[in-house]
Chain A
Amino acid sequence: MLKYLLEKEFKQFFRSRFLPKFVIVFPFVALAIFPLAVNFSIKKISLSVVDNSHSPYSGRLIQKIASSGYFRITTVAADYRQAIESVELDKADIVLEIPPRFEPELVNDRKTGVMISANTVNGMKGGLGSAYLASIMTDFSAEVRSEWIQGAGGEVIAAARIIPTFRYNPHMGYTIYMIPALMVMMLAMVCGFLPALNIVGEKEKGTMEQMNVTPVSKFQFILSKLIPFWIIGFVVLSVCFFVAWLFYGLVPTGHFSTIYLFASVFVLAFSGFGLVISNYANTIQQAMFMMFFVIITFIFLSGLYTPVTSMPDWAQSVSRISPLKYMMQVMRLVYLKGSTFHELVPQFIALSGFAVFFNGWAVWSYRKRG
């Protein structure tokens, strides 16, 4: 019986105008474009400079800032009022005001200050921008000071320098960090959304009721819906691997087999979740809304964009309910760090738990008769 149902699902899948293309194009587009567009490194901060000093030292400072790569000097304002105006017009994000007595203070008093005012509507940009600027200032003053000491014939006192070594993602590329997590998103979409929408679609058309008057058991029916999407899920995952290698030269440090093993448990869990939705939704519209609500919650709690460990405590405890979180951890660890199954046992247990929970719920809530 299952054989005939599967035959039907595959015929319908390949006959659909949209789905077969979607399965190939979606991972390509998502992996080739999203990671490049979504980037948290703050660059090209627009800076408005008010140089009241007009001295060689202030000139050198501005030069240094401009060559740092983080800032674009968009306006050179005559006074602070004018500079703020450029912020209001959205031409500048940060104002740097150099006081008139910058050079004499620096040379004579060995102590001076500048004023940094940042537009923090985008808190991240403002905050990081002023931090960058402050660190350039520190650098600048250290540079100037060492020159004086050398000029005075004194010895350069080497301060302790910290040289960090970045492991696993040496260039700290955000792209490299995002790709494994995006692969999980692809899997979630294909294996969670598609079977649920497919079942609700049958409800809408009335073919579901026809199925319910046949001797097809609910287990067989559900299996006939899941198996094709599991296969498709693995195809999508493999396309993702290929795209990651093709565009970013990224191959997992760990084993493909580890990823496939975890992916199969994750896919089982997530398609179970899709089935639960399909049992409660009567129309595609309802199913879409329920899906979006839950998926968005899962994504925000998953650590896709922001690390779970920097969330408030309550959010960290809630994040345990997101299966995405565990799978993203696995994917990132295997891809970037080369973790093996032994190190990932907690995630394996968590994902298996989700699989049992969602599928149990799905079988329980599926009713052949009202």
Chain B
Amino acid sequence: MNVIVAENLCKSFGSFKAVDRITFEVPQGEIFGFLGANGAGKTTAIRMFCGLSKPTSGKGSVAGFDIWKQPEQIKANIGYLSQKFALYEDLKVWENIRLYAGIYSVPAKEIGPKTDEILHRLGFTSERNTLVSELPLGWKQKLSFSVAVVHDPRIVFLDEPTSGVDPVTRRQFWELIYDAADRGITVFVTTHYMDEAEYCNRVSIMVDGKIEALDTPKKLKEQFEAKNMDEVFHQLARKARRNGA
């Protein structure tokens, strides 16, 4: 079953086509890599799927709900981690988890055990009462991810979750992603790290608002006769006419 469907989806800002007729499907449980240079239109596309921004034209659905008509139903079924760190810095670790669990209507009885489970999985048990502002960036990102999936959503959208994070923590972050995928959560992730692209089940590469390639990393490498994803990306990104944002 496809949990994300896009059909000729467009978003323009005046005469600028940020997203230009993209069409693709993502099946349940997949880790889907959404690559592209800065300004290629990745964030704009994600914002349309999450119900933060209205498309200009085209069709789309997320978790079976129409992105035009049912943005609020979509929101109850997804998790979202934006480029900007967005937990409350002046709340403690457990308070942030409790807040988002409450917002996503996790039953009050389950919030306590859920918090323990998350803290245990992250190895954060001792940081339970730490203010989020005092955590290092990598830890904050791991916590953000766990909070984004606190309600076991159908899909989680991750917009450059690992930028600025050290390699060890990035590794741990991807373990969390695999963990979530094992629980049946579809992961839609944008990244600039090509080694991370190799971890995805399938990868799409966006150039100037259009999807130029979409397949498994293995097939893409064969198709472009490249040693690794980095080379694939360079071959495609070279064609880009517009510069970074």
Chain A contact residues, CB within 8 Å of chain B: 1, 3-5, 7-8, 11-12, 15-16, 205-207, 209-210, 212-217, 368-370
Q: Please, which residues of chain B bring their CB within 8 A of the CB of A15? A: 90-91
Complex contact B102–A1 (CB within 8 A): yes
Q: Contacts A214-B100, A369-B53 given; indicate if A12 touches B105 (C-beta within 8 A).
A: no
Q: Among B75, B82, B90, B99, which residue has its beta carbon within 8 angstroms of that of A215?
A: B75
Q: Please, which residues of chain A bring their CB within 8 A of the CB of B95? A: 8, 11
Q: Please, which residues of chain A bring their CB within 8 A of the CB of B71? A: 368-369
- 8 Å CB interface, B61-79 against A: 71-72, 75-76, 78
Q: Contacts A1-B103, A3-B102 given; indicate if A215 touches B76 (C-beta within 8 A).
A: yes
In the bound complex, CA of A313 to CA of B91 (Å) = 53
A301 → B minimal CB distance (Å):
38
Instruction: Identify the closest chain B residue to A212 (Cβ).
Output: B52
Q: Please, which residues of chain B bring their CB within 8 A of the CB of A1? A: 102-103, 105
In the bound complex, CA of A333 to CA of B52 (Å) = 49
Please encode chain B, from 226 to 238, with 1 for each CB lying within 8 Å of some chain A CB and 0 for all others: 0000000000000
Q: Contacts A11-B95, A369-B53, A370-B53 given; indicate if A213 touches B103 (C-beta within 8 A).
A: no
**Interface bin, chain B:** 20 to 34
Q: Please, which residues of chain A bring their CB within 8 A of the CB of B53? A: 369-370
Q: Please, which residues of chain B bring their CB within 8 A of the CB of A210? A: 80, 82, 86-87
Complex contact A213–B78 (CB within 8 A): yes
Q: Among A7, A206, A213, which residue has its beta carbon within 8 angstroms of that of B51?
A: A213
Q: Please, which residues of chain B bring their CB within 8 A of the CB of A216? A: 103
Q: Contacts A214-B75, A215-B75 given; indicate if A207 touches B88 (C-beta within 8 A).
A: yes
Main SS of chain B's interface residues? loop
9 nearest A-B pairs in the assembled complex, by CB-CB distance = A4-B102, A206-B84, A210-B86, A213-B80, A215-B76, A206-B86, A215-B75, A213-B50, A214-B103
> Is B188 in the interface zone, CB < 8 Å from A?
no
Please encode chain B, from 44 to 62, with 1 for each CB lying within 8 Å of some chain A CB and 0 for all others: 0000001111100000000
Q: Please, which residues of chain A bring their CB within 8 A of the CB of B82? A: 206, 209-210
Q: Please, which residues of chain A bring their CB within 8 A of the CB of B99? A: 4-5, 7-8
Complex contact A215–B72 (CB within 8 A): yes
In the bound complex, CA of A87 to CA of B183 (Å) = 88
In the bound complex, CA of A79 to CA of B203 (Å) = 98
Instruction: Identify the closest chain B residue to A217 (Cβ).
Output: B72
Q: Kindly list 6 other residue pairs between chains A and B, CB separation below 8 angstroms, not including A4-B98, A11-B90, A214-B104.
A: A11-B95, A15-B90, A205-B84, A212-B52, A369-B54, A370-B52
